[in-house]
Amino acid sequence: MADLVTSGWIEFLGGRKRHAVKPGQICIRDTKSSWEFSCSPATTAHVISIPRHLVVPHLGSLKALSDAYVSDVDVPEVRFFVNFLETIKRSSGELEGSVAAQRMARDALATLFSRIISERPGPRLDDHPGAVVVAAKNVIEKHLESGDLSPPMVARSVGVSLRTLHRCFSASDDSVMAFARRRRLQRAHDELMNVGGAAGMSEIAARWHFSDASHFIRHFKSFYGATPAAYLRDQRKVGPS
């Protein structure tokens, strides 16, 4: 079975492995295995079901069915598969009137289906902790101003499990939200330097998602060695370099 997500997200759980599928991605899985899933509200997806007995003969090994396959639709073989599906949809009138045409379409889909999962890339993103961290940091950078920024959201965006995300950050002696907090603090620092005292501490704290002004001031002092007000005074004394 293939699930092509067009909006929202779907997360499949099979055994101990989680597979997050975002808009513009497809997940191919063997429904002979047991799967649990969750999705965001108003998620939409196209579901394509192909009988297992039609796919298996085209596989070099049943190991190809041992795990789900998640891919962007921009991957050439997946794009070809999706385009073929669209062609079948446009030709539905002709297919309804011909059993032979239906069989041809079914067999062609089964062949394409099997080739995609047989030729999947070997290593996955979560096999490379450094790559996971880089991808996660890119997601965090893009969502620093969002109140929705959280480890589960980052994990879904990257396409790894929450546990894998935390494990990869731990390997670099960091954590997801510690990195996000540092980057938000640095952005707040930049804003403070640009506007001086024109913006209140509460306003800056709220914009960068610190719980309150005192919380922001405490983190600022811990990182920069002085409160925001004292830091500004010191910078004015030094003047432009």
pLDDT band of residue 123 (cuts 50, 70, 90) is very low
Same domain membership, residue 129 and residue 76: no
Q: What is the CATH number of the domain that holds 234?
A: 1.10.10
Task: Find, among 221, 147, 232, the residue nearest to 191 by Cα.
Answer: 232
Q: In the block, which residue shows the tokens 């510690």?
A: 178
Number of Cβ atoms within 10 Å of the Cβ of 68: 21
Confidence at residue 126, expressed as pLDDT on a 0 to 100 scale = 58
Q: What percent of the chain has pLDDT over 90?
A: 24
| Residues 61 and 32 placed together within one structural domain of the fold | yes
Please indicate, yes or no, whether residues 12 and 113 belong to a single structural domain of this protein: yes
Verify that 93 and 158 share a domain, yes or no: no
Domain that holds residue 142: 125-174
Query: pTM for the whole thing?
Result: 0.50
72 and 146 share one domain = no
In this structure, which amino acid lies at residue 154? V
Same domain, 7 and 24: yes
The mean pLDDT value for 212-227 works out to 91
Residues 53 and 144 grouped into a single domain: no
CA 87 – CA 84 distance, rounded (Å): 5
Q: Are residues 45 and 144 in the same domain?
A: no
CA-to-CA distance for 180 and 81, rounded, in angstroms?
38
Dump pLDDT digits (tens) for 8-51.
999 998 877 888 899 999 998 888 888 898 999 989 999 988 88
Structural domain count, the chain: 3
Q: Check if the beta carbon of residue 34 is closer than 8 Å to that of residue 40.
A: no
Whether 155 and 86 map to the same domain: the answer is: no
10 and 110 both lie in a single domain: yes
